[in-house]
Amino acid sequence: MKRTALYPGSFDPLTNGHMDMLRASFALADRLVVAVGVHPAKAPMFSPEDRVALIEDVAAPLAKKAGVELAVRTFDNLVVDFAIEMEASLLIRGLRDGTDLDYEMQMAGMNRSMAPGLQTVFLPASPQDRHVTATLVRQIAGMGGDITHFVPPAVADRLNDVLRKA
């Protein structure tokens, strides 16, 4: 039986911190579903299709090397419902600091109440990526700053294209 893990997020944009979590997740599952959240009330920098394509482009070679099946899907419902739909038994959550832990512990408790068969796995961010957030990357890029240390090269290129057209 394949062990499926779900790694949800907005991934707007995909950062080196996300990549850190993906690499760690590949060691935990036979199949990893990256779940790109779509929220009608939010105005993302990248369309859901762009986010899916970027994740597939950057993560697929790493998944193949790790021998893990990778699926990248969008969702617009509760994470636990989407995890059940994807037949996931693990929910991957990254932790940068104690603030993340407090919030994620509450979410893990709520999720476990709604989906007892879904186990939340907390993965600590690597020290070199702990400070990286998609929000900060968007802000730095929007003000003309260099984001190449915070995102994969393909993401930096695409983000710069989006900003040039804006």
pLDDT digits (tens, 9 = 90+) for 94-131: 999 998 999 999 999 999 999 999 999 999 999 999 99
pLDDT at 1 over 80: no
Cα first-last separation, the chain: 47
Question: Domains (ranges, CATH) in the chain?
Answer: 4-165 (3.40.50.620)
pLDDT at 166 over 80: no
Question: Does the predicted TM-score (pTM) go above 0.85?
Answer: yes
The span from the CA of 135 to the CA of 65, in Å, is 30
The span from the CA of 18 to the CA of 34, in Å, is 10
pLDDT digits (tens, 9 = 90+) for 22-61: 999 999 999 999 999 998 888 899 999 999 999 999 999 9
The span from the CA of 34 to the CA of 98, in Å, is 24
